Structure formats: structure tokens, C-alpha cells
Amino acid sequence: MTQSPVQKTMSASDWAMLITLSIVWGGSFLFIAVAVKELPPLTIVACRVALAALALQLVLRIMGVPLPRDRQAWAAFLGMGILNNVIPMALIVWGQGHIASGLASILNATTPLFTVIVAHFLTSDERLTGQRLAGVLVGFIGVAVMIGAAAMAAWNVNILAQLAVLAAALSYGFGGVFGRRFKTMGIAPMATATGQVTASSVILLPLSLVVDRPWTLTMPSTVTVLSLTGLALVSTAFAYILFFRLLARAGATNVNLVTFLIPASAILFGVILLGETLELRHIAGMALIGAGLIVIDGRMVAAAGGLFGVRKPAPHPGA
């Protein structure tokens, strides 16, 4: 069976999927904000990955996609699960217990900044260029503006929560680089998604039982249970299905546009449904982070250069 070619330009249906994906992932911050009021972080993350793993296992069976059984594959799933699920999800949930969901989503949008840095040091084919370095610097200036110099001078749980979400973004950056190995291992993307959340469940379920002792917790409300279900089935399982479908159709570069859209939906959910507000410095920081991501992405910069007649130099024959 031949694979459909990746489209360089996105169709209306691709844009619809991209916007849907941004809403689904932006909604995860809403679901977490609701659940964290009644449940501890590890319990929330354990429920999220365990329910998502069950759903994705079912989807794999329906699709007829095999899940690898060899030790090497599951060692890789375990590493990916730790970097892409266990560490970042636990940090984000803990952070959202102290800061607004919209602010958490903006800080999480720094993931591509960290990915560029991690890839520079850990890969041989994704080195930092001048343009990418400029984008990273602009983005981190945005982070500094958001957190604020005065706030950094007076350490409190709010600052720690923001740093926790940034640490989660860094972990996602490592996860993105680590995940490159699955392509060379010949493992299907949906199998990778299923394997990593399954491996994460193996870690988080017993950990949450030991640390949180969920049997001693008060029975959560219906709203919290529905939020956990939405977090697992909509913002994790369904999001992975949508992500890999769009990745196959439009390619990684186009899919990365979702990074620009997630904070918008998360902020709207937070303002409309949770009554959250953002300070002016948060908006300014978001604008700078967005500008940094645009510079790293390069397409709008190239389009602007073309508009003003600036052409990229032809590559040297020996390059």
C-alpha cells in the first residue's frame, strides 16, 4: 500500500483539524484546572494516561496496527513515557494548582524553544542557526517579562509553579528529540503513542497509589470525574489520533502551527469558564514568545523577505 504524499499547503479540512487539535489540547488546561481543585497531581496524571492507554489500545486493535513486543521497543517506550508524559504532565498539573490555566498554557508554548536548544546539543542535523538562536532569545525574553524581575526577587509558590511548567516544556523538548528514534526503529506513530502512555501508566499507577493513597481521598464530584474523562479521552487519546492523522496529511512543519493556537483556546476557556484574568505582562510575554516561535518557524520571515525582494542566497556548489 502506497502512502499518500504529504501536502505542503493545507486544505480547508486540514485547517479544521488543526484548529480542532488546538482546542482539544487547549482544553487540557481547562480540565486540569477543574480536577486539581479536588485531586492530587499524581492521581490526575495516572488516570489521564491509564484511560488514554486503554482507549488507544482499542484503537490499535481496530486499525490492525501491531504493538511491538520486543524489549528494545518497550525500553524506548519507557524512556519516551518518562520524558513526554510522567515528568511534564505531573509538573504542569502541580503548577496549575497555583497559577491560572491560561498562564500555564503560555509557558508550555515555550516547548519549541527548548526543543531547538536540546536538538542542537543532542543531534547532528538540527544545529542552531542564527535565525533560530534569535527566535530562542526573543522567546526567553518573553518568559522573563511574564515572570517579572521583581517576582524573581521574592520567591514564592507562584514563581515555583511557573518554573515547574517551564521545566515541563524542557522535558517535552527532550521527549521530542528522544522520539526521533521510533522512525528508525520502524514503529508506527500510533503504536508509539500507545506504547508511551501504556509505559507511563505502569509507572504512574503504582506511584499514585503509594504517594496519594487515593482510597483515603474524598469522592470527587461529577464535574471532576467528567474533567478527568475529557482529559484522558479527548485531550490525550483523541488528540494523538488527530495529531498523527494531520501529521500524515500536512507534515510536521504545518502541524507545528498548533503551538501558536493552543494558548489562545486555553486562555479563552480560562476567561470564559473559570473567570481567570491575565496581567498585562503576561500578554506582553505571550506576544514575545509568539514572535520567537515565528522567527524559529521561518515561514513568515521568508515570506516577508520575498515581499520586500530579499532572496536567500543560492547554496555553494560544494555545500
Q: For residue range 180-229, what is the model confidence (pLDDT) as tens digits?
A: 899 889 999 999 999 999 999 999 999 999 999 999 999 999 999 999 99
Has residue 251 got a pLDDT over 80? no
Q: For residue range 188-201, what is the model confidence (pLDDT) as tens digits?
A: 999 999 999 999 99
For residue 253, name the pLDDT band (cuts at 50, 70, 90): confident
Residue 5, domain member (yes or no): no
Q: What is the mean pLDDT of residues 167-189?
A: 92
C-alpha cell at position 77: 517506550
Q: What's the confidence (pLDDT) of residue 317?
A: 41
Q: What's the confidence (pLDDT) of residue 71?
A: 95
Backbone torsions φ then ψ of 187, nearest 5 degrees: -95, 130
Residues with Cβ < 8 Å from 190, sequence gap 6 or more? 56, 59, 60, 63, 65, 240, 241, 244
For residue 126, name the pLDDT band (cuts at 50, 70, 90): confident
Residue 275, domain member (yes or no): yes
Calpha distance 277→37 (Å, rounded)? 18
Q: What's the confidence (pLDDT) of residue 1?
A: 41
Distances (CA, A) of 76 to 81, 117, 120, 214, 282: 8, 22, 21, 29, 37
Q: For residue range 17-42, what is the model confidence (pLDDT) as tens digits?
A: 999 999 999 999 999 999 999 999 99
- Cα end-to-end span (Å), the chain: 36
Q: What's the confidence (pLDDT) of residue 249?
A: 83
Total number of domains in the chain = 1
Side chain identity, residue 88: P
Residue 302, domain member (yes or no): yes
Residue 316, domain member (yes or no): no
Calpha distance 148→1 (Å, rounded)? 54
The whole-chain average pLDDT of the chain stands at 89
Tell me 214's DSSP state.
G
Residue numbers of the domain that contains 17: 12-307
Q: What's the confidence (pLDDT) of residue 314?
A: 43
CB 31 within 8 A of CB 89: no
C-alpha cell at position 147: 515572570
Residue 312, domain member (yes or no): no
Q: For residue range 40-84, what is the model confidence (pLDDT) as tens digits?
A: 999 999 999 999 999 999 999 999 999 999 999 999 999 999 999
Kindly report whether the global pTM for this prediction surpasses the value 0.85.
Answer: yes
Which pairs with CB-CB distance under 8 Å and at least 24 residues apart come from 214-217? 214/43, 217/39, 217/40, 217/43
Has residue 308 got a pLDDT over 60? no
CB 224 within 8 A of CB 66: no
Residue 99, domain member (yes or no): yes
Residues with Cβ < 8 Å from 104, sequence gap 6 or more? 29, 32, 92, 95, 96, 165, 266
Residue 319, domain member (yes or no): no
> Which of 172, 180, 186 minimizes the C-alpha distance to 73?
186
Residue 169, domain member (yes or no): yes
Has residue 178 got a pLDDT over 60? yes
